[in-house]
Structure 1
Amino acid sequence: MQRLAELLIPFSLPVQVLIVLLGSVATAKVIELTGRWIAQSVETTPGSIRRIVLREIYAPLYVSVFLFGLLLSFQIIGAPVLSILESVVLSAIIVLWTRAGIHAGSESLEAAKQRDDQYEFAPVFKNLWSAAVVVVAVFSLLLVWNVDITPLLASAGVLGVVIGFAAQDAIANFVGGVALYFDDTYKIGDFIVLESGEKGSVSDIGIRSTTLLTPDRVMITIPNAVLNSAQVRNESAPKRHKRVRIPIEVEYGTDTEAVEGILQSIAAESKGVLSAPPPTVLFQGFGDSALQYELHIFVSHPLREPRVIDRINREVYRRFAEAGIGIPFPQREITLRDGDESLGTVRDGSTPDSEPE
């Protein structure tokens, strides 16, 4: 600044002011044109983070250059209200950069989220980033206007302790939400099952809570602190498709190859069953009154599971009936005695016409 003042000494006062103003305008224009060229040439992708940052900062940069030139011209003139003008100009610069910082940070986080699913923390940190930038701007404005911020800092410390005790749950939910994001436990659209039994698709992830849309089309809001401390089963990860196990029992004496052939045929023909990975039939063991099988299939989404199981169970019942394959049901035999004399025997489920217990 002193070197510039020495260079302007040979000129008259009006010429000095004119040189400073024209120089600041020319420099601002060069910065504006250079910034636009860099933003277009560095990366042509519309949502690129570098392009977003350059687009947001070059405008306040060339405006700041012009305002500094205006401030310098005031100093040359020796305006009596110079201190107030300096504060006004610096305040305008702070406001410009605050706006640019908020927009650049928010749009960069949103662009990162769209480019990679691991940046699902963007909705939370956009608000956090904006709040941090605003706080820094407020303290900068107070310093520009020569306001003693020492009492404010002391009060802020006490207030922070009070808020910490009063908002323990809110802070726990926020920390829990951040931990869930970085652990990549789930993201929007995933189907999760909680330890308590609730299940549904993640429709929203907020700072305080996560919202689920259940299969019954009911919205459930769960605090992030609860999710962070509980077991969460993500049935949409690492792949969207899910394996479904369908237990099936047939009576003893049934041809095992016939049973396996029918089940494979049903799985291949059923709507909603994926062909890859292929369905499999496993002979699990020998039950009390039945041969135990398990049909393994894959569905494209956990929400399709109930409908697919319904179709397969209906078709199994029909095809087994056509093939003469019996499906056993529980049977009980009860003997009634009065002293040493037998009063009779009741068999439940001994014939097809009897009712199971």
Structure 2
Amino acid sequence: LKGIGIIASYAALAKLADIFIDKILKKLASRTAMTYDDHLIDFAHAPICWTIFGLGILHALLIEPLSVPWDAVLPAIIKSCILFAWMLSLMQTLDRLTEENLHKIDIQSKLSTDVVLFFKNLFRVIAIVASLLILLSIWKVNLTPLFASAGIAGIALALAAKDTLANLFGGISIFMDRTFKVGDYIVIDDVNRGEVKEIGIRSTRIKTRDDMMITIPNSIIANSKIINESAPVPSFRLRVPVSVAYGSNIDKVEEVLLAVAYNSPDLLKEPKPNVKLRSLGSSSLDFELLVWVVDPSRRGLELHFLLKAVYQAFHDHGIVIPFQQMDIHIDNAQ
């Protein structure tokens, strides 16, 4: 009877904890802007109550000595049940967090869903392994041979899956460094240029202007030079080389080029367009028109429109665009 009374007391205490968490803590958490405190309370709510009740049973088992083997088996069963309650609550919390993050990804399109699912599964595996180790410790299983075998198996697995692990850690480094995100225009090693369509666990997919999808392993990207044309802001500076004939009025050329830039509706007016005389070439004065495009995806289109407008403006103002030629002088001397 004394043991039953102890269990009943702990059951009442567990119920009080349930009411306190449900009626007070959850209301306080709902008033904050953060959602992590809500998830933390939901995670700990049921396990705390079951832990209190389980401690009551363990306390009751200490009242009267049990016979062998029940003196070791029953406490281990109770502790295993408590561990299972915490483990189950953790899995449910991970599922809820994953659903919320996947919903944010669908709205913001910042990250591949594979990455979120990868971290969910990674945390799940870590939690399961940790729980199994605790469970074996509860049942007093010697873990030394297990750790030795796991070390040998881990080395063999790492050697066999070297490339896969390199891609995996490359994907994690891309995610942590935030080098680029989905929707950015990037150039990899001055060769591959395009829009990032997906950042996965093993590879990253880039769509070029030719509508070709390039899949690059993350291990290669992690060790490559990356130019992000969309960072820190989406606007992109376009450099347009322009050559005019010697003898042209330099001030007039600059005035015409700036007028073309300011009259182009799709170019940004801030930062202001600029014209620079870059070199005195072998047969031309070489200028460079510097303008800002609202988005890197429009680089080719804006270059097309600018070159057409520059050619027409030079034609209207009588500015000559030179072409390469060779002058041959014949010496008539005998």
State the TM-score bracket (shorter-chain normalisation).
0.7 to 0.9
Normalized against structure 1, the TM-score is what? 0.76
2:304 matches 1:310:
yes
Q: Which residue is equivalent to 1:56?
A: 43
Q: Could you report, residue by residue, the CA deviation over 1:293-317 in whole angstroms, capped at 9, with x for unpaired residues?
A: 1100011221111111011111112
Q: How far did 1:279 drift? A: 0.5
The amino acid that maps onto 1:325 is I
CA contact (8 A) 1:20 1:72 kept: no
Radius of gyration: which is bigger? 1
Higher relative contact order, chain-length normalized (CA < 8 Å, sep 6+): 2
Normalized against structure 2, the TM-score is what? 0.80
The runs of 5 or more residues in structure 2 that have no matched partner are none
Q: Which residue is equivalent to 2:286?
A: 292
Aligned equivalents of 1:284, 1:128: Cα separation in 2: 55
Q: Which residue is equivalent to 2:25?
A: 35
Q: Could you report, residue by residue, the CA deviation over 1:250-288 in whole angstroms, capped at 9, with x for unpaired residues?
A: 122222222222211111121321111010111222222
Aligned equivalents of 2:53, 2:3: Cα separation in 1: 19
Matches within 5 A, 1:83-162: 86-102=75-91, 107=97, 123=116, 125-162=119-156
CA contact (8 A) 2:183 2:196 kept: yes
Residue correspondences, number: 318
- The counterpart of 1:22, out of the listed 12, 21, 33, is 12
Among the aligned pairs, what percent are the same residue?
31
Aligned equivalents of 1:71, 1:287: Cα separation in 2: 92
The runs of 5 or more residues in structure 1 that have no matched partner are 1-10, 337-357
Find the residue that maps to 2:136 and give its secondary structure: helix
Q: Bigger shift: 321-330 or 201-210?
A: 201-210
Matches within 5 A, 1:154-303: 154-195=148-189, 197-303=191-297
Q: How far did 1:83 drift? A: 5.5
Q: How far did 1:146 drift? A: 4.4
Provide the alpha-carbon RMSD of the alignment. 3.4
The amino acid that maps onto 1:65 is I
Aligned equivalents of 2:86, 2:4: Cα separation in 1: 31
Aligned equivalents of 1:201, 1:75: Cα separation in 2: 67
Q: How far did 1:105 drift? A: 6.3
Find the residue that maps to 2:269 and give its secondary structure: coil
Q: Bigger shift: 95-104 or 193-202?
A: 95-104
CA contact (8 A) 2:18 2:45 kept: no
* Closer/same/farther in 2, CA of residues 179 and 151 from structure 1, 3 Å limit: same
* Closer/same/farther in 2, CA of residues 63 and 189 from structure 1, 3 Å limit: farther
Q: Which residue is equivalent to 1:355?
A: none
Aligned equivalents of 1:69, 1:334: Cα separation in 2: 108
